[in-house]
Homo-oligomer: A and B are copies of this chain.
């Protein structure tokens, strides 16, 4: 496996490939080239000072007769947890606060200040996770409150993943993302539909599968949805958000190297292609350790090291183009300018929705979920 120190695919290719080859390799890997944003020097200075990567790209669309461009900006924040995982939550700084506050430029941008669930994914570390729970959506912790202030101040929508304790339903715990409108009010929430039961990533002992379906949020800047973390492995999850009209689907994740790194560039990108929408894949970065040893009983020695969160956050577009990824090693902010008109333009050419035959699948799937379903197998 690549060492965490190996910074990024893009950096390596740019270092070694001659310009002509680099252009062809990028086209094959990333599709049509995205325009680099001309970021203000003030923002770049902030990034240097705050020691985080700052990248910006634009996805363009053709002019239309009946609609003007619908250009919005998204900011994907990729962060490490600055203090050790066992530090009290009250002392954990809101990880991306400085990056966010200093580089945002007060323009209309849906944003995503936290990149995944709090650092509680190791089942051995029970005592930690309760620190991060919010009693309800109306009584918020300091970080959450800060998100509301930020949303209003900068006229942007904030997607803020939290752990939700559902007092009205026997204290069920949900992995939830709150969407905060640019008015500062809670626009709504969405819950993680698919809960990983994967080795150390077994979250089924402390989250329940979401029961809110596939809501899409009509913001002032476009229709957005949040496919939380492990839900990215499920094409049907992306699909239903798209059926409900999402222009942009955010995928706040916290995923480690050995587990998923070669899947990472594929899944959100496939979802953007298949559903004619933009997808934003955001991962945490850095190494995390826990105070207690844990093991999945998989033959490996008990260990405190949870693995390496490999960052590599990116934005993918419906025309199969994508931005380069943020690094595998550093905090970063990826700004992307999206002309949402591209979604319908690609839809009108490729017609996946029109040729999707969803009535057939509704029928077949309804049959397939029956306990006595007999798969359609042809034998000699």
Residues from chain B with a CB closer than 8 A to the CB of A108 are: none
Docked complex Cα distance between A6 and B21 (Å):
9
Known: A1-B27, A262-B27, A266-B273. A378 touches B218 (CB 8 A): yes
Q: Are A181 and B261 in contact (CB under 8 A)?
A: no
Report the bound CA distance from A1 to B213 in whole Å.
41
- Chain B residue nearest in CB terms to A197: B351
Bound form: Cα–Cα A9–B349 in Å: 27
State the interface size on chain A (CB cutoff 8 A).
Answer: 87
Q: How far is the CB of A347 from chain B (nearest CB, A)?
A: 11
B321 and A262 contacting across the interface, CB-CB below 8 Å: yes
A188 partner residues in chain B, CB cutoff 8 A:
378
Q: Pick from B183, B262, B273: contact of A28, CB below 8 A.
A: B262
Whether A365 and B369, one on each chain, are in contact in the complex, defined by CB atoms closer than 8 angstroms, is no
Q: Are B32 and A262 in contact (CB under 8 A)?
A: yes
Smallest CB-CB separation from A8: which chain B residue?
A: B28
Contact A218 B379 (CB under 8 A): yes
Per-residue CB proximity of A77-121 to B under 8 Å, as 1/0? 000000000000000000000000000000000000000000000
Also in contact, A187 and B218, with CB within 8 A (given A27-B2, A235-B270, A351-B198):
no
Indicate with 1 or 0, residue by residue over A20-34, a CB within 8 angstroms of chain B CB atoms: 010011011111100
Chain B residues near A193: list those with CB within 8 A: 357, 360
Known contacts being A193-B357, A349-B199, A375-B244, is A233 close to B16, with CB within 8 Å?
no
Known A223-B377, A366-B366, A369-B362; judge A233-B350 contact (CB<8 A). Answer: yes
- Residues of chain B with a CB closer than 8 A to A321's CB: 262
Expressed in whole angstroms, the minimum distance between the Cβ of A318 and any Cβ of chain B is 11
Q: Which listed residue, B197, B215, B265, B365, touches A361 by the CB 8 Å rule?
A: B365
Chain B residues within 8 Å of A217, by CB: 377-378
Tell which of B28, B194, B378 touches A265, judged by Cβ atoms closer than 8 Å.
B28
Q: List which A154-207 residues lie within 8 A (CB) of chain B.
A: 179, 181, 183, 185, 187-188, 193-199
A20 to B, closest residue via Cβ:
B6
Q: How far is the CA of A157 from the CA of B218 in the complex (A)?
A: 51
Closest B residue to A23 using CB positions: B2
B16 engages A2 (CB within 8 Å)? no
Partner of A239, one of B179, B236, B362: B236
8 Å CB contacts to B: which residues of A354-380?
A: 354-362, 364-366, 368-369, 375-380
Interchain CB contact (< 8 A) of A31 among B213, B215, B218, B262: B262
Q: Tell me if A352 counts as interface (CB < 8 A to partner B).
A: yes
In the complex, which residues 227-260 of chain A have their Cβ closer than 8 Å to any Cβ of chain B?
230, 233-236, 239-240, 243-245, 260
Contact in complex: A236, B361 (CB < 8 Å): yes
Cβ of B262 and Cβ of A270 under 8 Å apart?
A: no
Give the Cβ gap from A227 to chain B, nearest Cβ, in Å: 13
A357 to B236, CA, bound (A): 9
Chain B residues closer than 8 Å to A352, beta-carbon distance:
233-234
Contacts A28-B2, A262-B320: A358 and B349 contacting too (C-beta < 8 A)? no
| Interface status of A18 (Cβ within 8 A of chain B) | yes
Task: Using CB atoms, name the residue of chain B closest to A269.
Answer: B266
Could you give 26 example pairs across A and B, Cβ below 8 Å?
A12-B24, A17-B17, A28-B261, A30-B262, A31-B262, A31-B263, A183-B380, A185-B380, A193-B360, A198-B350, A213-B364, A214-B364, A216-B375, A217-B377, A218-B377, A218-B379, A234-B356, A235-B270, A236-B356, A240-B364, A240-B365, A240-B368, A266-B320, A359-B369, A361-B365, A365-B365
